[in-house]
Amino acid sequence: MTDDAHTDTDETADTHDTDAQIYYETDADDRLLRDETVAVLGYGSQGHAHAQNLADSGVDVVVGLREASDSRPVAREDGLRVATPAEAAAEADLVSMLVPDTVQPAVYEQIAPELEPGDTLQFAHGFNVHYDQIEPPAEVDVTMVAPKGPGHIVRRDYRRGEGTPGLLAVYRDATGDAHDRALAYAQAIGCTRAGVVETTFREETETDLFGEQAVLCGGVTELIEAGFETLVDAGYSPEMAYFECLNEMKLIVDLLYEGGTTEMWDSVSDTAEYGGLTRGEDVIDDDVRENMETVLEEVQDGTFAREWITEDRAGRPAYGQRRAAAADHEIERVGAELRELFAWSDEKDEETAKREPEADAV
């Protein structure tokens, strides 16, 4: 980073010496947003949830969308005011940037002239600030409030009187009130009902990218496909390989999600536990850990960010090829047929049809 005015303290510290601070309802002051206008840029997964939750919490909200956006009538039907991104930013005290990462720099160029000293520019992911794709003016607060769940869950939890856990970070505190205003925003979208964990832009960005690449999206899919291919190549039916290596993954993930590894081990058979404890480390060995360290280093030094930005600007040729190859894998063809056997398949189709599309603000 080149700006010395920010307060993202993790820039100089690689580890935390203490447990993270967690904030709840009683820590937030809803009066801080009572007389302010919040502009929510974008009306996709996160945008629609933030805007509706803010409005239901009594906050004055305007949604910023390009004039040709298909989401404009959707937002209006939801009872929200709609303007262009620049118009929304001009009347707002806090601007929440909730368009996709790759779109944000272009949107920022539209709204930058409308940012005034004392305003807040807020994000739900630190990518563009951390990697210097967006450099807000020194007199503007720069914060992050990031719910740890997709938008439809954030909205559903709020309407149930519950909340989705979230993250909070302050990159720049120009006014002295950046932290408290971000916490008030987190309260207004329901996150403080569950708990808001304090972090930094650097920590959120780097751990998020690493988790996606090495474990959640990249690591898991490669592990599943490798297991599937190993069984099929050994002569077992693709259907059995699918059930054992992909379908049952949800059962294990649900156990991990609800109770961690201890509950998972307690819930599976002794045979499964012994096999997992003794053979898992043979698969995820020191070579895999070294590969993970390389992935993390490329996140930390900006190699991945530069690669992805270049790929996006070039029209995503490699991205498209890899997506097509993944969709053409045998596990996808077998899975499409087997998933039809489950009752939840029809419910999933209905839920997908109802879900709001991603929306850009440019």
Catalytic residues: 125
Report CA Rg, the chain.
Answer: 22
Cα 267 to Cα 50: distance, rounded to the nearest angstrom: 37
Cα 138 to Cα 4: distance, rounded to the nearest angstrom: 9
Instruction: Note whether 189 and 162 are within 8 A (CB).
Output: no
CA max distance for the chain: 68
Which has the closest alpha carbon to 122: 100, 103, 106, 98? 98
